[in-house]
A and B are shown apart, each in its own frame.
Chain A
Amino acid sequence: MVTRRLLVGWTGIAFLAVVVALAVLVPALNLGLPPSSRFHVPTHIVVLLGKWLCYALLAISLDLVWGYCGILSLGHGAFFALGGYAMGMYLMRQIGTRGVYGNPLLPDFMVFLNWKELPWYWYGFDQFWFAALMVMLVPGALAFLFGWFAFRSRVTGVYLSIITQALTYALLLAFFRNDMGFGGNNGLTDFREILGWGVREPGTRAALFVATCVALAGGFVAARAMVVSRLGLVLVAVRDAESRTRFLGWRVDRFKVFVFTASAVMAGIAGALYVPQVGIINPSEFAPTNSIEAVIWVAVGGRGTLVGAALGAVLVNGFKTWLTGAFPEVWLFALGALFVAVTLFLPKGILGTLGGRRRRPVPPTPTPAESRAAAE
């Protein structure tokens, strides 16, 4: 039943078709054609697209909690960055003796800081399977712990948004410290190999791009499966009337913890795919600004649509890439205006507005008193 409902809806099918087409066409046009050809896709475009698709996965994970469960997380960038750091640690261990100091065990920054031993939490990251596990486990565990505390004590609305922001801010400060053992200010960079292939090789780039497409499609299907199941209905009920759902006998906090954790795992995977493509991970990924920018991607595309979130991520980042190149000083004006314009004129986002007739009617805008109560 779930599979059938999954395939219903042209947006979902179109989205998957586009992702598959990208996964096939982009590497083929990059590797298969000579650079002189008109249809050749240069490697830097492959990297750029790969980056955007990672953001799209982050946006889908955020839409899952915000669009379907009403949890506005201003700290999803933290899960993204944690996944990225886990992957970065694996890539650091792969450098081995090729670093500047040639230490077989310690990454360069530890030699530089005069450390003698590998910290315990760096053990195991020389194995890819362990790193891959941590990519999901670390953000998931943090989200579970955080959600367990927050949702059980019914912290909701603006309060929750603010403490998710505090969470990512605290991590930002922590990862800036050299003593943490994650490279401090400079973060982790200078990667050489992933699974034995050089990270700067066009072939590896293309493979990473395909992996990103697969992860994006997989993440989309997983999120879609969640929201069309009975679980998804409860999530929407929590979003629209949390107290009522609770009074109907649902354990609201458990649903929230579950969806928050699942979303954090997805964000972690997105971060892990992002790092080998851009070649660096540093604490600025934890900056609250990044997390709020991710929220605007979802808002632009249309929250509660999943496809819209991915679309918004790609559109906004494409816009950003073009604008920061063409008129760098205008970018913040444009981004700020985007925030205001979308909330004022396009509250349902692009996809929500376009597909409005097909979807069930949205509940009428609550009165201030109701929404204030909902916010608290």
Chain B
Amino acid sequence: MSPTLRRIALVLLLALGAPAAWAQDLAAPLQALVGDDLAAKGEAMEALARTGDPRAAAALQALGDGRLFQRKSDRKVVIAATTRGGALTDAATGAAAGSATAADLDEANLNNRLRRQLSGLLGSLTLTLGDAATRIAAAESIFKTRDAAALAPLTAAIAAEKDARVRRAMETARAAVVLVTDGAEAERIAAAATVGARGDRDALGLLLQAANASPPAVAAAAREAAATIQRRLVMLDAAQNVSYGISLGAVLLLAAVGLAITFGVMGVINMAHGEMVMLGAYTTFVIQDWCRTAAPQLLDHSLFLAIPLAFLFTAAVGVLLERSVIRWLYGRPLETLLATWGLSLVIQQAVRSVFGPTNREVSNPTWMSGQVDVYGLTLTWSRLWIIVFAAIVFVVLLFVLKRTAFGLQMRAVTQNRAMASSMGIRTHRVDALTFALGSGVAGIAGVALSQIDNVSPNLGQSYIIDSFMVVVFGGVGNLWGTLAGALTLGIANKLLEPMAGAVLGKIAILVFIILFIQRRPRGLFALRGRAVEA
């Protein structure tokens, strides 16, 4: 035989024969696992773990889960799908082996000592086998248990690890074990620093524990690391509250910006504005409901359909209200306030009659559910999207106001109605369009709110007073004022909440605004000039 042929034969032999050979190697210890000799069972577990073979790991895992059996018919060791049987896999080869019920199988038993031994072995096995996520999870579990027996496999795994993230998790876990185990002081002090670098509440708990029950030098190092973490957590708490505040501010901005526009142009507080928000939310509900029955494939993107439709629908309702009621009341702002309040009652009751008084469920699309973790800050996707959405709405409105002819006319009417009128601007048309725009923006605010709040006939009422506060605080005729007002009130609200409780925080904000309005009766960003002087 030529060398080449011999080599090919060798490769073939390896390719075909090697698994068989490994199966042979595994067969004996696997048989011991299902046997009755407990000492032999322990040794077999160790032997299997030493092989580093994925199939051995699977068998040990199954043993831990209670899914490892011996089939009564042919005494083969099998892994079942569940603890009561089901589809079977040959433990030695990994091949499918039919299915069976519990009556045909003998379960491999464990006692507590073996169970402990097994969990240690599994921990170190998964440290080297499996994908990155599994290896990190294994390191995490060692971090939590701080099992001294895991130290050796962990050290070995660190040496072999290539992935930097996994390696860091393992080093932290190792440091956690070292920190609580009696050993060289210098090593434990270094371990305290490593654990401290992790910087979360688990690490803090561990360090505080170590600070109480360690030699003085180690305790001091642990305390120092703990103090660093505590400082970081305080910062993180503040940042978390600010992030909640920004998200609340975005919601307030959405709800209030339409109000600010109509108030700025017409000097009219539209008490039915909250109901426009509510109608927008119900539009979302109706569209989602329609998608569910008519076009399920659109369900996840129904919001994109809901945004323009809610805008159009509420804008149409707004024009209707303006043309039928509000335009007869120009020049009488207080009467307009009462009339729009009456309209809000009618709209609310109408919705209650059509949809019922209970909450209607609007589901979150998949891309808006879940949360994201940024340096320890937890942000839900729905809140993030609402912030983004509010920003987009704000920028679009800013563009409309500053860069379009309609915006120019609107600003002219805001600043000096009489002068604008004499320059040929049809102020009543501007009023109607402004009202439509304000109502439409309220409608898309409703789309956003349907994602984070209950869609009920009272949805609008719960936001209307806050929206007024934003407008009064920020001043009218200037979108930046509304932005500043909404963000200030949102953040202040969320920062006060942990200190004073939700209700007291809210009261404090209201009292603050009542006092603030005394100082600046026209809000933060007041219009200046002759036109505003009474």
A interface residues (Cβ-Cβ under 8 A, vs B): 72, 146, 149-150, 152-159, 161-163, 165-167, 169-170, 173-174, 176-177, 242-243, 288, 292, 295-296, 299, 329, 332-333, 335-340, 342-344, 347, 365-376
- B337, B416, B521: the one contacting A72 at CB < 8 Å is B337
29 contacts between A and B (CB under 8 A): A150-B518, A153-B518, A158-B263, A158-B268, A159-B472, A162-B472, A163-B472, A165-B465, A176-B503, A177-B503, A177-B504, A292-B341, A295-B338, A332-B348, A332-B352, A336-B346, A337-B342, A337-B346, A339-B341, A339-B343, A340-B342, A342-B338, A344-B339, A368-B330, A368-B331, A372-B267, A373-B533, A374-B534, A375-B334
A329 to B356, CA, bound (A): 11
Q: A166-B510, A336-B349 are in contact. Are A371 and B333 (CB under 8 A)?
A: yes
- Does B329 have its Cβ within 8 Å of any Cβ on chain A? yes
- B338, B350, B353, B417: the one contacting A339 at CB < 8 Å is B338
Q: Which residues of A contact B267 (CB under 8 A)?
A: 158, 368, 371-372, 375-376
Q: Which residues of B contact A161 (CB under 8 A)?
A: 269, 334, 337
Q: Which residues of A contact B263 (CB under 8 A)?
A: 158
- B325 (CB) vs chain A CBs: closest residue: A340
- Does B506 have its Cβ within 8 Å of any Cβ on chain A? yes
B53 to A: closest C-beta gap in Å? 64
Q: A336, B344: Cβ atoms under 8 Å? A: yes
Q: Which residues of B contact A162 (CB under 8 A)?
A: 269, 468-469, 472
- Does B400 have its Cβ within 8 Å of any Cβ on chain A? no
B172 to A: closest C-beta gap in Å? 44
Q: B338, A299: Cβ atoms under 8 Å? A: yes
Q: A344-B328, A368-B330 are in contact. Are A158 and B337 (CB under 8 A)?
A: yes
Q: A158, B333: Cβ atoms under 8 Å? A: yes
Q: A242, B338: Cβ atoms under 8 Å? A: no
Q: Which residues of B contact A339 (CB under 8 A)?
A: 338-339, 341-343, 345
Q: A332, B346: Cβ atoms under 8 Å? A: yes
- A150 (CB) vs chain B CBs: closest residue: B518
Q: Which residues of A contact B533 (CB under 8 A)?
A: 373
- Does B10 have its Cβ within 8 Å of any Cβ on chain A? no
Ordered nearest first, which 3 A-B pairs have the shortest CB separation? A339-B342, A336-B345, A336-B346
Q: A166, B469: Cβ atoms under 8 Å? A: yes
B431 to A: closest C-beta gap in Å? 9
Q: Which residues of A contact B418 (CB under 8 A)?
A: 367, 369
Q: B468, A155: Cβ atoms under 8 Å? A: no
Q: B332, A371: Cβ atoms under 8 Å? A: yes
- Does B152 have its Cβ within 8 Å of any Cβ on chain A? no
Q: Mark each residue of chain B from 485 to 516: 1 if its CB lies under 8 Å from any CB of chain A, else 0.
A: 00000000000000000011011001101110
Q: B349, A166: Cβ atoms under 8 Å? A: no
- B353 (CB) vs chain A CBs: closest residue: A329
Q: Which residues of A contact B513 (CB under 8 A)?
A: 163, 166
Q: B334, A174: Cβ atoms under 8 Å? A: no
Q: Which of B303-345 contact A (CB under 8 A)?
A: 325, 328-339, 341-345
Q: B521, A158: Cβ atoms under 8 Å? A: no
A158 to B: closest C-beta gap in Å? 5
A167 to B468, CA, bound (A): 13
- A329, A343, A374: the one contacting B339 at CB < 8 Å is A343
- B350, B503, B518: the one contacting A155 at CB < 8 Å is B518
Q: B333, A157: Cβ atoms under 8 Å? A: yes
Q: Which of B348-366 contact A (CB under 8 A)?
A: 348-350, 352-353
Q: Which of A152, A158, A288 has the most CB of B within 10 A?
A: A158
- Does B517 have its Cβ within 8 Å of any Cβ on chain A? yes
A342 to B140, CA, bound (A): 70
A165 to B325, CA, bound (A): 23
- Does B239 have its Cβ within 8 Å of any Cβ on chain A? no
A284 to B48, CA, bound (A): 71
- A338 (CB) vs chain B CBs: closest residue: B342
- Does B55 have its Cβ within 8 Å of any Cβ on chain A? no
Q: Which residues of A contact B417 (CB under 8 A)?
A: 368-369, 372
Q: A163-B513, A166-B469, A296-B338 are in contact. Are A333 and B269 (CB under 8 A)?
A: no
A242 to B347, CA, bound (A): 36
A153 to B517, CA, bound (A): 8
Q: Which residues of A contact B338 (CB under 8 A)?
A: 292, 295-296, 299, 339, 342-343
Q: Which residues of B contact A154 (CB under 8 A)?
A: 521
Q: Which residues of A contact B333 (CB under 8 A)?
A: 157-158, 371-372, 375
- A170 (CB) vs chain B CBs: closest residue: B510
Q: A376, B532: Cβ atoms under 8 Å? A: yes
- Does B519 have its Cβ within 8 Å of any Cβ on chain A? yes
Q: A161-B334, A292-B341, A339-B342 are in contact. Are A332 and B349 (CB under 8 A)?
A: yes
Q: A174-B507, A332-B349 are in contact. Are A159 and B521 (CB under 8 A)?
A: yes
Q: Which of A146, A169, A299, A369 has the most CB of B within 10 A?
A: A369
A100 to B: closest C-beta gap in Å? 27
- B506, B517, B534: the one contacting A373 at CB < 8 Å is B534
A134 to B: closest C-beta gap in Å? 22
Q: B522, A335: Cβ atoms under 8 Å? A: no
A340 to B321, CA, bound (A): 11
A161 to B341, CA, bound (A): 13
B60 to A: closest C-beta gap in Å? 56
Q: B472, A173: Cβ atoms under 8 Å? A: no
- A243 (CB) vs chain B CBs: closest residue: B534
Q: Which residues of A contact B328 (CB under 8 A)?
A: 344
Q: A161-B334, A366-B331, A372-B417 are in contact. Are A336 and B342 (CB under 8 A)?
A: yes
Q: B329, A343: Cβ atoms under 8 Å? A: yes
A68 to B: closest C-beta gap in Å? 14
A214 to B411, CA, bound (A): 54
Q: Which of B428-478 contact A (CB under 8 A)?
A: 465, 468-469, 472
Q: Which residues of B contact A332 (CB under 8 A)?
A: 345-346, 348-349, 352
Q: Which of B417, B503, B521, B533 has the most CB of A within 10 A?
A: B521
